[in-house]
């Protein structure tokens, strides 16, 4: 049965858990108190999701094997975001491969997505444009004709408006079917008549396996103090190569990324700890932060509050 939901979040962990069609983890990179809004619309075959955050972030994750996801910026004056080193600008669509890992970095703008099962997209495309549309092997950037992109965005925002103002109407099966038909037609037209931007065999595509090895090594050594030299040796790349890859995919150096992961681990530990048994000092030093004054300042810059506030709110 069609349904929709409008959710707001102040906890990045709750936000990442609510994202469908991908298993994701969010690392805030600065900007103070986190606030996010997530609009989810599930029609008969089509899923829609729109996410907007107040602060910049790096997201890592993996797409599901069960749905083809297309992504685009929604609303006026949106700043670009980067997905696996590919820059998504207004008027463009990202077509995402099945089951692949990714990194996304954003300044906290509003991004929309739509997804269909692969067989449903293929069948819809045959009916609408006379040929199949299939999942790409690598992330594709498509530039549709402007009037078609405007049509897709107008339909998308109209559906979002219904979800926010009259959700009962959107849940009506026939209304949902009519909206879904228009949205799928608009999406297929954009993908079928859009111009492919870039090449699948570019340097960005060749860098993805390095980033995958990097992430797997970090996960295998979660909580351990890691240094750049040992990371590079473990994944088989030079210091310079890893720096270039991280800058393109993450927008930060490997050291900064390691630091961000550690401070988010501290944040997670503080939200789960019992302030009657644990102190900020214990938790911070357990994660390798020994300059406590600098740690506290940096923590507040990213999470918008002192670490002691996080700890005592968990009681």
Global pTM value: 0.84
**Residue 201: its pLDDT value, please?**
41
What b/e string do you get for 60-81 counting C-beta neighbours within 10 Å, with b at 16 or more? bbebeeebbbbbbbbeeebeeb
- Identify the CA nearest to 265 among candidates 4, 64, 28, 18: 28
- List per-block mean pLDDT (blocks of 10 residues) for the chain, which spans 315 residues: 90 83 81 87 94 89 90 84 88 91 84 94 95 88 96 96 92 93 97 81 63 91 82 93 92 92 92 91 91 94 92 76
Q: Which domains does the chain have, with CATH numbers?
A: 3-197 (2.60.120.10), 203-313 (1.10.10.60)
Question: pLDDT digit string (tens) for 154-197?
Answer: 999 999 999 999 999 988 999 999 999 999 999 999 999 999 98
Residue 98's alpha-carbon distances to 15, 101, 234, in angstroms, are 22, 9, 28
């Amino acid at each position: 049965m069609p349904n929709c939901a409008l959710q707001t979040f102040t906890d990045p962990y709750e936000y990442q858990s609510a994202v469908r069609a991908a298993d994701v983890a969010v690392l805030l990179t600065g900007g103070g108190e986190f606030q996010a809004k997530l609009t989810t619309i599930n029609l008969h075959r089509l899923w829609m999701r729109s996410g907007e955050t107040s602060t910049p972030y790096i997201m890592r994750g993996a797409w599901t094997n069960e749905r083809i996801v297309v992504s685009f910026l929604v609303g006026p004056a949106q700043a670009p975001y980067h997905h696996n080193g590919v820059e998504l600008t207004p008027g463009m669509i990202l077509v995402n491969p099945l089951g692949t890992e990714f990194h996304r970095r954003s300044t906290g703008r509003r991004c929309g997505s739509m997804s269909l099962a692969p067989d449903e997209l293929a069948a819809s495309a045959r009916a609408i444009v006379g040929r199949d549309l299939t999942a790409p092997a690598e992330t594709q950037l498509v530039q549709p004709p402007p009037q078609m992109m405007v049509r897709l965005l107008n339909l998308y925002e109209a559906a979002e408006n219904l979800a926010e103002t009259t959700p009962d109407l959107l849940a009506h099966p026939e209304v949902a079917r009519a909206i879904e038909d228009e949205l799928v037609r608009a999406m297929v037209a954009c993908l079928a008549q859009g111009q492919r931007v870039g090449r699948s065999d570019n340097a960005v595509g060749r860098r993805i396996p390095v980033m995958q090895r990097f992430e797997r090594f970090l996960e295998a050594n979660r909580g351990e103090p890691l240094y750049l030299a040992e990371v590079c040796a473990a994944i088989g790349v030079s210091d310079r190569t890893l720096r270039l890859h991280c800058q393109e995919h993450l927008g930060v150096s490997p050291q900064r990324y390691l630091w961000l992961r550690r401070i988010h681990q501290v944040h997670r530990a503080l939200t789960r700890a019992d302030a009657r048994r644990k102190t900020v000092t214990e938790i911070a030093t357990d994660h390798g932060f020994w300059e406590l004054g600098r740690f506290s300042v940096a923590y507040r810059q990213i999470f918008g509050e002192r670490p002691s506030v996080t700890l005592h709110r968990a009681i």
